């Protein structure tokens, strides 16, 4: 299945896009998605300090993804 992945800040710069579509297996977790991302975009491998949000909420590694979920890669924030 496909999930949409939004990219921000330095991660958007590293990949050169502000969003991408990623193929993952049914019942894949956030952790599986990270592995798939690192395979497809090796430049992310050395940049593992990001968080993941699913449908606009911070998500833990064990969360199971569903079709049409909106995933976002959240590099260390620096608002304020």
Q: What is the binding site for other proteins (CB under 8 A)?
A: 6, 8-10, 13, 49, 53, 56-58, 72, 74-80
Q: State in angstroms the smallest separation of the CB of 55 from other proteins.
A: 9
Give the 3-state DSSP-derived string for the chain, with helices as H, strands as E and coil as C. Answer: CEEEEEECHHHHHHHCCCEEEEECCCCCEHHHHHHHHHHHCHHHCCCCCCEEEECCEEECCCCECCCCCEEEEECCCCCC
Q: Residue 25 or residue 55: which is nearer to other proteins going by CB?
A: 55
Q: Residue 33 or residue 59: which is nearer to other proteins going by CB?
A: 59
Q: Residue 17 or residue 25: which is nearer to other proteins going by CB?
A: 17
């Amino acid at each position: 299945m496909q999930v949409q992945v939004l990219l921000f800040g330095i991660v958007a710069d590293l990949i050169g896009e502000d969003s991408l579509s990623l193929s993952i297996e049914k019942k894949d977790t956030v952790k599986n998605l990270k592995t798939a991302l690192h395979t497809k975009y090796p430049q992310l491998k050395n940049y593992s300090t990001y968080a993941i949000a699913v449908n606009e909420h911070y998500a833990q590694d064990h969360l199971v993804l569903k079709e049409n979920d909106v995933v976002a890669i959240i590099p260390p924030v620096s608002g304020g």
